[in-house]
Amino acid sequence: MHKTIRLLLLGVIIIMYFERVLQAVPLTYYQYVTHIERSVFDQNIWFWTPDTMEGPVHSNGTFAIRYSPQFHGPFSTSQDHFIEHQANPRFEVRPVFNAPMVEFPRNLDFLRDIANHRISSRNGEKMTWIRMRGDGGIDIFQYPDGSDRLDSLFTRYQPLNYWREGMVIFVEGDVEVEGTLAGKVTIGCSGNMYLLDDCVYQGADRNGQFDQGWMPHMLGLASERNIFIANTVRNGRENGYFEDRNNLNRHSIIINGALVALNECFTFEQQNDDWDRYQGPEPDERGRIYLTGSIAQFRKGYTHRSQHQGTGFGKTYHYDFRFLRDGPPGFAPESNGIIDGRYERLELYQRRDYRIRNANIGTLIVHSGVELELEGQQPLVVRDRLIMRGAEDRPITIRPERGGDRTLFRVVRGPHSYVELENVIFEESIETQINCDSLKVINCEFNGPANWEAIIQVTGSKFADEVSMSSWHQLLVTHSVFEDGLTIAGDTRDGHLLNNTIVSGRNSGLRLRRFQNLEIQNNIIAFNRQGINNLHYEEPLLGYNNVFENEVGDYIDCSPGDGSISANPQFVDQRESDYNLNERSPCIDAGSPGSPADLDGTRADIGAFYFDQPNRAPDVFTPANVESFELIGVYPNPFNSSTTIGYYLPVNSNVTIRVFDLAGRLQKSLINSERDAGSHEIEWNPKSFSAGMYLLQMQAGEFSALQKMMLLK
């Protein structure tokens, strides 16, 4: 490979090792991955001078390194050291110690479930022999196990018919494999797999090399036990490497594909152990393993031994860089829709529905239109970052495998934990349990319980089951509907519950366990068992709420505050969960005068939804009185990236406009200069500000005014 291309690919590997935008199960992502680095006899199996690895290398165990192996890609271990003997290894990327463990699935059920063809060995009576014939398809034979191999054709498949989605063949029992592949195929088995001869892609060269930029074929070979290089004449039996060194058909083996030995190892057959009935010549050098692909094995297996003055194979391994983003059928989310195992980073697009089970993901990014099906009681844990951005017309939908089964969707606090959910629908019985640094929720629907702890910002969302929110810093919940109560905990220093509708709670509508500063304003809290139940020793700041007909009481250990009412909110249709206000609602124009105006320009309504009065909408920045100073307002408010501030001066004046936080600390001075009489507008773009409520102050001569602003991010 040209040196420049090699360096470019190395850079791609390094970036993706730390970013990991994976479309493949991690076992196929690594060029080499093991759970245990010691043999079944508890002996070290060394990486040594002839070993050169190009792609990502990882072990959950402790690597043993002797002399000078070379590692040109990312190298990591879940342990804190190597075992070294006269070691001088070359690492192009600094080794990572104490890395997260890679989880090996316990079985290949994820292949069984999607197999196009499942073949029985009749409880071990039959050996299955699979021969790939390029464009001629795949021939499958079966013959009595232990007898001579017979050309008894069992069936024939044409993998080209499965070109787009690929084909999975699963054998219950042992299987023998060889040949040339055209297509995308994974062969799995519950027993041992024996490689009788080369397993190569059509179009590969004599040594199994190929142009990865155009190669369309892809092979997976997966066993729930061992993958053996069979001791056949074509694989170098009887010292074939020395007998006929120029004839690759007489020695060595060429393999293209991803090898997965799930519970045992990748090794070779008949190693001349003392107890082995087969005893080969001395030496018994069978050739080399020319592998272009990847190896995942639970326990590291021998490919060469010292018996008989040398037994087995040398190694020439190359990485199939396509596995960074793709994988054989059954090992790539886009090919089978099953996500199972450990990922550092996973990104899902609207290619098909996905089924998630036993998944542990560092960073999960989901795009609009994706549908996720959760299998089991706790199928998913996100360890760090979760970003799910749907669209109004193409939301992200998350549902349980079986309706009514309680399923846990869990995010745990990681080193950079951040969760953003927008236009996501969590269907019935899915419980969201989120513990992170920062949580942002916009226009989402939750039909199961929610238990969250973070800096929390929720806008325009609906909750059909009980909700608990704990925050130690900032809490901002606006224009949302809670149909079975909301509990506030933690010790939030900057809390705001504004323009929400809390109805039909089986217990408290709003239950306050603990807070430092909490503003509750412009909310409808009605038809719950209890209205606002304050369990804290201090009262929150209440005002302009409609708290009505809660069975046990409207205000428990708290006072209504200014502007509050108690009247039927007059929903459009409460039985159908339509909590919009009808034209007779007493909540219209009853919100706090200091709150941001509704989108129609009128005074804020109470509740999650405002009543649109388009005929009453004034010009946003028209002064009420041209003879007076006026801070006309802020639009839009709330706002995301920028907002416009309007003010009016009846005479030329020196104007100061400043931004404060709610503790009264100056954050920004927008203007401090002379201005002509008339209407003025200034734009504010607070890029470096965090989300929350701010105070806008205008001063001109003896005139002074304040306006609240809400920044969303």
At residue 12 the predicted structure's pLDDT band, cuts being 50, 70 and 90, is: very low
**0.75 surpassed by pTM:** no
Q: Could you give the percent of the chain with pLDDT greater than 70?
A: 93
- How confident is the model at residue 100, as a pLDDT? 78
| DSSP letters for 72-110 | -S-EEESSS--EEES---EESS--B-SPPPPPPPSS-HH
Q: How far apart are the first and last CA of the chain?
A: 47
> In whole angstroms, what is the distance from residue 328 CA to residue 258 CA?
7
Which parts of 541-596 fold into alpha helices (H)? none
| pLDDT of 154 above 80 | no
**At CA 506, angle to CA 503 and CA 508, rounded to 5?**
70
Alpha helical stretches, state H, 199-271: 240-243
Q: In this predicted structure, what is the pLDDT of residue 664?
A: 82
Query: For residues 189 and 33, what is the distance between their CA atoms, to the nearest angstrom?
Result: 20
Mean pLDDT in residue range 676-695: 86
Query: According to the model, what pLDDT value does residue 402 have?
Result: 80
Query: 409 — phi, psi (to 5°)?
Result: -105, 110
Give pLDDT, residue 23.
Answer: 31
| Longest Cα–Cα distance in the chain | 110
Instruction: Report the distance separating Cα 466 and Cα 463, nearest Å.
Output: 8
3-state SS class at 459: strand
Between the alpha carbon of residue 538 and those of residues 144, 488, 514, the distances in Å are 81, 14, 9
Q: What is the pLDDT of residues 687-698, one digit of tens each?
A: 888 888 889 999
For residue 8, pLDDT over 50 is answered with: no
Burial class (CB in 10 A: 0-12, 13-18, 19+), 435: middle
DSSP three-state, residue 27: helix
Range from 1-5, 396-400, 542-546, 559-563 carrying the lowest mean pLDDT: 1-5
- From CA 609, how far away is CA 580, in angstroms rounded? 6
Is residue 615 pLDDT above 60, yes or no?
A: no
Least trusted range by pLDDT, from 104-113, 183-192, 306-315 = 104-113
The closest of 406, 515, 422, 487 to 460, measured between CA atoms, is 422
pLDDT in tens, 165-222: 688 999 999 999 999 999 999 999 999 999 999 999 999 999 999 999 899 999 999 9
Among all chains, which residue has been given the structure tokens 């232990």? Answer: 146
Token output for 592 = 């706090």
515's tokens: 């807070």
47 touches 69 (CB < 8 A)? yes
pLDDT in tens, 244-255: 888 888 999 999
pLDDT at residue 5 is higher than 90: no
For residue 560, the one-letter residue type is P
In the structure encoding, which two tokens stand for residue 587, read together? Answer: 């909540």
pLDDT at 683: 87
Q: Which residue has the tokens 């360096």?
A: 7
Q: What pLDDT, on the 0 to 100 scale, is given for residue 599?
A: 82
> Does residue 406 contact residue 383 with C-beta atoms inside 8 Å?
no
Per-residue pLDDT, averaged over 619-645, amounts to: 81
Please state, as a whole number, how many other Cβ atoms lie within 10 Å of the Cβ of residue 507: 14
- Measured over the CA atoms of residue 602, residue 604, residue 605 and residue 609, the dihedral's sign is positive
**Nearest of 451, 447, 485, 499 to residue 471 by alpha carbon:** 451
Q: Which residues contact 96 (CB under 8 A, 6 or more apart)?
A: 74, 75, 76, 77
CB atoms within 10 A of CB 150: 12
Among the residue ranges 53-67, 201-215, 618-632, 675-689, the one predicted with the least confidence is 618-632
Q: Which residues pair with 36 in a beta bridge?
A: 299
DSSP for 388-441, written as a single string = EE--SSS-EEEEESSTT--EEEEE---TT-EEEEESEEE-TTEEEEEEEEEEEE
Both tokens of residue 9?
Answer: 């690919």
Question: Residues 480-506: what's their mean pLDDT?
Answer: 95
Q: Average of pLDDT values for 407-419?
A: 89
Q: What is the distance between the alpha carbons of residues 499 and 501, in angstroms, rounded to a whole number?
A: 7
Which amino acid makes up residue 102? V
Q: What is the mean pLDDT of residues 389-410?
A: 89
Write down the pLDDT at residue 409: 95
Q: What is the structure's pLDDT at 3? A: 45
Question: According to DSSP H, which parts of 150-266 are helical?
Answer: 240-243
Which residues are bridge partners to 219 per DSSP? 185
Per-residue pLDDT band at 414 (split at 50, 70, 90): confident
C-beta separation of 367 from 424 below 8 A: no
pLDDT of 586 higher than 60 = yes
The whole-number pLDDT of residue 15 equals 38
pLDDT, position 290 = 95
Q: Is the pLDDT of residue 348 over 90?
A: no
Q: What is the three-class DSSP state of 16?
A: helix
Q: Is the pLDDT of residue 346 over 70?
A: yes
pLDDT value of residue 43: 92
Over residues 658-671, mean pLDDT: 88
Token pair in block for residue 95: 């080794």
The alpha carbon of residue 520 and the mean position of all alpha carbons in its chain are separated, in whole angstroms, by 35
pLDDT for the residue numbered 587: 96
Average pLDDT over residues 256-270: 96
Q: Is the pLDDT of residue 10 over 60?
A: no
CA 334 – CA 182 distance, rounded (Å): 20
> What secondary structure letter does DSSP report for 491?
T
* Eight-class DSSP state of 145: T
Instruction: Pick the range with the lowest mean pLDDT from 41-50, 94-103, 437-446, 579-588.
Output: 94-103
Is the per-residue pLDDT at 405 higher than 80? no
Average pLDDT over every residue of 559-588: 94
**Where residue 50 falls among pLDDT bands split at 50, 70, 90?**
confident
Q: What is the pLDDT of residue 105?
A: 82
The average confidence (pLDDT) of the chain is 88
Q: What is the pLDDT of residues 439-480, one digit of tens each?
A: 999 999 999 999 999 999 999 999 999 999 999 889 999 999
Per the CB < 8 A criterion, the answer to whether 502 and 479 are in contact is: no
Provide the 10 A C-beta neighbour count for residue 385: 22
Nearest to 363 by CA among 388, 338, 400: 388
Residue 336 pLDDT greater than 70, yes or no: no
Whether the predicted pLDDT of 335 surpasses 70: no
